[in-house]
Amino acid sequence: MALHFAHAAALDGYRVLCVDFDPQATLSHSMGLSDVAEEYTVWGIMARDLIRETERMNAAGRGAESGAALPERKLPPSVTGMGLDDLRVTDFIKPTSWPTIDLVPSCANAAFVEFASAQYRHLNPEWSFFAAVDRYLDHLPADAYDIVIFDCPPAIGYQSMNAVFAADVLYIPSGPGYWEYDSTTSFIGQLAEALEDLGRFRGAVPAGTEPEKHFSEIRFLLTRFEPNNDLHRAMQQAFHKVFGPHVAEHPIEMTRAVEQSGRFLSSVYEIDYRNMTRETWRRARASFDRAYDEFRATLVAAWDKLED
* Per-residue model confidence as pLDDT tens digits over 31-75: 988 888 888 999 899 999 999 999 888 887 665 555 555 567 888
Domain count, the chain: 1
How do beta strands 94-95 and 101-104 pair?
antiparallel
Cβ neighbours of residue 34 closer than 8 Å, sequence gap 6 or more? 25, 28
Half-sphere exposure of 196 (CA within 13 A, CB side): 6
Q: Measuring CA to CA, which residue among 46, 30, 66 is closest to residue 110? A: 46
pLDDT at 89 over 80: yes
Q: Does residue 220 have a pLDDT over 70?
A: yes
Separation CA 163–CA 151 (nearest Å): 8
**H-assigned helices in the chain:** 2-11, 26-30, 42-62, 77-80, 113-123, 132-138, 158-166, 178-197, 230-243, 256-263, 278-307
User: Residue 288 has what pLDDT?
Assistant: 93
How far is it, in rounded angstroms, from Cα 109 to Cα 128?
24
Rounded Cα distance between 133 and 142, Å, is 15
If pLDDT is split at 50, 70 and 90, which confidence band does 92 have? very high
Q: Taking the alpha carbons of 298, 225, 187, 138 in that order, is the dihedral positive or negative?
A: negative
What confidence category does residue 201 fall into, taking pLDDT thresholds of 50, 70 and 90? low
Percent share of the chain, pLDDT over 90: 43
- Residue ranges making up the domain that contains 134: 2-307
- The string of pLDDT tens digits covering residues 174-192 is 989 888 888 888 888 888 8
Question: Which CATH number characterizes residue 126's domain?
Answer: 3.40.50.300
